[in-house]
Amino acid sequence: MRFIFLFYLLFSSLFAKASDQSKLFGYSWWPHYQHPYFRLQLDTLNNQPVLGLDIIAPLKGVWGTLLPTYQLRGETNDITVRVKYKSKDVQHFYVTLNSLTNGARVARRDTIMLPASPNWAEATSQLHLKHADLLSVTLEATGKKDTLGTIQLADFGLYADGKKLSDDVPDAAVAPLFQRSDLLNWTFGNYENLPCMNSPILAVGETVHGTKTMNAVAMDIMKERILKHQCRLVLLELPMDAAFYINMYVRNDPRFKYSYISNYIDNSLLSEPTKAFIEWLKQYNATHDNSVSLLGFDTNLEWVQSQINLFNFFYTLNDGKKSPEMKKICEAVLYDMDPFSKRDVAALIDSSDVVKNCLQKDELMLVRKGVRLMQWFAKHRMRFGQRDTLMAQFVQFAIDSVFPKETVVTMYAHTGHLNYSQTIEPAHLNYYSAGHYLKEKYGENYRCIDIVTYQGATIVSDKYGAYAGSKLAAVPQRSIEYQLGQLGVDSVYLPMSKLQSSEALQMRMAGNGSIKVQFIYGYPQARVDGVLFVRNVDPVIKSERIIKEWQEGTKRMFKAYQEALGKMKAM
């Protein structure tokens, strides 16, 4: 069982990193992180690539791509699907096509079953589809119990008018998406024109990780929400365990020092504006009864890092005392948070009088819930695929069970986590973002706005994990960013209610590991309430020492684990 678990983690990690680079059969493919194939491998047949997909019950495998079809001119179009494959010991293997139109509405869903075939088979299906903006295309399979099913694909393609559809469509101008009179002005320190500023829960999504400018805008909005809108809960895209430490610091607990906090915020997402905001919040809390909390709602993909962070949190709480009970807690978080442990660490924390005496009631509730979610996450076969589910669960718990009713909340993270739809482009329609779940739960009380830009740079580069810095790609004409950029203004806000198109547009969405793929197709009005436009963004700047520490990754993490072991022995 342990071997299978580790095998899963290995292939899901490799698949996640390689998917945005794949142009197999001429398409860019996305794995469904909640439904990955057991194994993926590439081979050749007559000098042509062959994709191997392995599946085993009760799991389901899904691999997908998103094809623009807005360029097809007819009101209806004949689409031909061609597949060359063979399969063995597979219960079901099929192609699903979702036609998307008018604000992400699924106009039609088609399923093409591919019967089991131990020998190479060629299947051709023809569909008569009404005009749509996008086609979500997925290869899906379920396996047989206790049997490893195998699928091999030698060819796959969709054709219209005798030509193979491509996910790379020539850039072309679109009709005006808004009127100049629709735009609202804003400047640093003045956001009163924005209709969402008085929302009970406001989520600020950055469309590019690694820019100092977007970081500064988000921190400025948070400050204004605290000063003018009574915001009492700030949530950042940081691991819960790391932010527990930061929260104690900003609430002026003298045991928690700024020197250690820098370990948590020296990443590619956050920069000097975040450090300045944390210091400002600490000073604000000192004169306002420590009324504002700052929490993280993310988690570490590496459970060892969570163990280290939790150990350091409880070790700092202990404050050098000789406490057998606190040592027991420190041992539990350092040894028993791994995927194979059956120990309920959250229950142990909840039963500890020492911990209860060290934490206020709200702090204890948050730590206990965070630990429980981290243990659940560590045990999950596909951790990455559950990341946004975990995010939403922690946020909902904080809002519904910990803080007073009507508490004003401000969130900041990548738009992939905060928007109302999917974490990625709609290649997988049911791979939902945390914002999707929060919108379902809180309705109009949850509002998300995106920070978008026309040009600039980020610390993230084309090479995965290099952090060498790179200029942002030019915006395509089929985007809001392009039309806003043509105005020559530095900062404006466009409400999505004023958008004069319900068609699919291109949107910048660049993450943390690589900016090789920067733009996705989507429906902005189905994802956010509005976009906060900044004409130019500057990159996060980090020292060579910090970047080297990022790149050391696992080596640095296990060094910190050894240091934690040494501290625990001395307790």
Q: Residue 463 domain-assigned? A: no
Closest CA to 176 of 527, 482, 489: 482
- The predicted-structure confidence for 312-368, as pLDDT tens digits, reads as follows 999 999 998 888 999 999 999 999 988 888 899 999 999 999 999 999 999 999 999
pTM of the model: 0.93
Closest CA to 81 of 61, 62, 67: 67
The amino acid at residue 171 is D
Q: Is the pLDDT of residue 541 over 80?
A: yes
Give residue 9's pLDDT band: very low, low, confident or very high (50, 70, 90).
Answer: very low
CA 562 to chain centre: 30
Q: Is the distance from CB of 156 to CB of 83 less than 8 angstroms?
A: yes
Q: Is the pLDDT of residue 16 over 50?
A: no
Question: Residues with Cβ < 8 Å from 523, sequence gap 6 or more?
Answer: 100, 103, 104, 421, 502, 503, 504, 505
- Give the bridge partners for 471, in sequence order: 457
Mean pLDDT of 515-538: 93
Q: Is the pLDDT of residue 203 over 50?
A: yes
Say how far apart CA 271 and CA 553 lie, in whole Å: 19
For 70-74, 179-183, 459-463, which range has the lowest pLDDT when averaged over its residues? Answer: 459-463
- The predicted-structure confidence for 32-46, as pLDDT tens digits, reads as follows 888 888 888 888 878
Mean pLDDT of 401-421: 97
C-alpha neighbours within 13 Å on the C-beta side of residue 133: 19
**pLDDT higher at 268 or 70:** 70
Say how far apart CA 34 and CA 173 lie, in whole Å: 36
For residue 62, the domain's CATH number is 2.60.120.260
The amino acid at residue 530 is G
Omega before 58 cis (within 30°)?
yes
Strands 446-458 and 201-206 come out as parallel
Mean pLDDT of 284-305: 94
Closest CA to 91 of 44, 158, 146: 146
State percent of the chain over pLDDT 70: 95
State percent of the chain over pLDDT 90: 70
pLDDT for 22 equals 59
Look at residue 63 and give its three-state secondary structure.
Answer: strand
- The predicted-structure confidence for 125-138, as pLDDT tens digits, reads as follows 999 999 999 999 99
Q: Residue 301 domain-assigned? A: no
Give the range of the structural domain holding residue 139, as residue numbers without chain letter. 1-163
Question: Which contiguous run of DSSP H or E holds residue 296?
Answer: strand 293-298
Mean of pLDDT over the chain: 90
- Give the bridge partners for 61, in sequence order: 141
Q: Residue 150 domain-assigned? A: yes
User: Between the ranges 45-59, 194-208, 299-313, where is the mean pLDDT highest?
Assistant: 194-208
Give residue 91's pLDDT band: very low, low, confident or very high (50, 70, 90).
Answer: very high
Closest CA to 553 of 315, 304, 384: 304
Q: Is the pLDDT of residue 384 over 90?
A: no
Give residue 262's pLDDT band: very low, low, confident or very high (50, 70, 90).
Answer: confident
pLDDT for 420 equals 97
Q: Residue 544 domain-assigned? A: no
Q: What is the DSSP string of 179-247?
A: -GGG-EE-BTTB-TT-TTTT-SEEEEEESBTTBHHHHHHHHHHHHHHHHHH-EEEEEEEEEHHHHHHHH
Q: Is the pLDDT of residue 6 over 50?
A: no
pLDDT for 268 equals 66
User: Could you give the C-alpha distances from 204 to 151, 410, 419, 560, in angstroms and in order?
Assistant: 42, 8, 9, 32
Q: Residue 268 domain-assigned? A: no
Give residue 20's pLDDT band: very low, low, confident or very high (50, 70, 90).
Answer: very low
pLDDT for 140 equals 96
Q: Is the distance from CB of 230 to CB of 292 less than 8 angstroms?
A: no
Mean pLDDT of 408-431: 93
Q: Residue 24 domain-assigned? A: yes
Q: Residue 426 domain-assigned? A: no
Q: Is the pLDDT of residue 5 over 50?
A: no
Give residue 465's pLDDT band: very low, low, confident or very high (50, 70, 90).
Answer: low
Residue for token pair 């020559």: 488
User: Could you give the number of structural domains in the chain?
Assistant: 1
